[in-house]
Amino acid sequence: MLPCLNKKLFGVDCMGCGMQRSISLIGQGDFVGAFYMYPAIYSLISLFVFIGLNIFFKFKHSNKIITILAIITVLTIITSFIIKLIN
């Protein structure tokens, strides 16, 4: 795994800390562990999968769906980051 440069330099986790380990846990089949490692992983995967599918198949209201998925992802990332800082 690549080390977190932010954590190495400043001693504080960044908003992406845990994403690599979460992807690794998904690859190993530990879906619950992946969520606990990085809670935004499933909304992030959903966002990228939808954007990828939208390239090949044009969906009606795709802009609204992408916007909603992006907002959910960003809010999840920020919320989990704040909770991680508090604990």
In a domain, 6, yes or no: no
Question: Are the beta carbons of 1 and 19 closer than 8 angstroms?
Answer: no
Measured over the CA atoms of residue 50, residue 54, residue 57 and residue 61, the dihedral's sign is: positive
- 7 in a domain, yes or no? no
Are 87 and 64 spatial neighbours (Cβ–Cβ below 8 Å)?
Answer: no
Tell me, what's the pLDDT at 53?
Answer: 96
**Can you give the residue range of the structural domain that contains 59?**
15-86
* 5 in a structural domain: no
User: Cα 45–29–49 angle (5° rounding)?
Assistant: 15
- The reply to whether 48 falls in a domain is yes
Q: What is the pLDDT of residues 17-61, one digit of tens each?
A: 899 999 999 999 999 999 999 999 999 999 999 999 999 999 999
pLDDT value at residue 1: 81
Q: Which of 11-15, 17-21, 73-77 has the highest mean pLDDT?
A: 73-77
Asked if residue 74 is part of any domain, the answer here is yes
Q: Look at residue 87 in the predicted model and tell me its pLDDT.
A: 81
Q: In the prediction, which pLDDT does 8 show?
A: 87
Question: Is residue 71 in a domain?
Answer: yes
Q: What's the domain count of the chain? A: 1
